[in-house]
Amino acid sequence: MIIFGIDPGTATTGYGIIKVGGIKSKNNIELIDYGCIITSKETEMPLRLYSIHKEIKTLLRQHKPDCVIVEQLFFGANMRTAMTVGQARGVVLAAAASYFKSSRNKLSYRLPVFEYQGLHVKLTLTGSGKADKKQVQKSVMKYLGKRKLKKPIDGYLDDAADALAVAICHFLKTN
């Protein structure tokens, strides 16, 4: 099973793709790909959102996941940030909803989309809902059997690691 995790944002949308078998085990998770979709603050918001949508659809076609997992929006003190992240989540969800995957048993089917709150992901992976970015990354590396995660070409490891954490959380919760 291929799980596609997404940490949405308008400036940086992290993605992480893992392949898992049927048995819940730390050693049963294979890292397929991870990185970030970056948009410039100088670009108009509609074009930034279109870019995120287009890149997500490209990644879906490339990796052919069995499900998409999206981190839910956390409403903190900054409402403006929450609004723009909500827009990014919307285009991510629309891209996932518009993707159809062929199957032997069916002509095509929509990908299942699941959502988890960041606090739930942190609690599941680290044992603490208040874990910081470094603790989450350490847990992600442990589950992937890696001593280190290389920074993606774009240089934003935090968002990519958060997306991998969302994907791993889904695997742990469904097995």
- Active-site residues: which are they? 7, 71, 159
Reported residue count of the chain is: 175
Which helix (DSSP H) or strand (DSSP E) does residue 58 occupy?
A: helix 45-63
Known binding residue 66? Answer is no
Known binding residue 7? Answer is yes
The one-character DSSP state at 100 is E
The residue among 17, 21, 15 whose CA lies nearest residue 1 is 21
User: Looking at this protein, which amino acid is placed at residue 108?
Assistant: S
The C-alpha R_g of the chain, in whole angstroms, comes to 15
DSSP 3-state of 152: coil
Task: Label residue 14 exposed, middle or buried (CB < 10 Å: 0-12, 13-18, 19+).
Answer: buried
Known binding residue 132? Answer is no
DSSP 3-state of 159: helix
Binding residues: 7, 71, 159
Binding residues for Mg(2+): 7, 71, 159
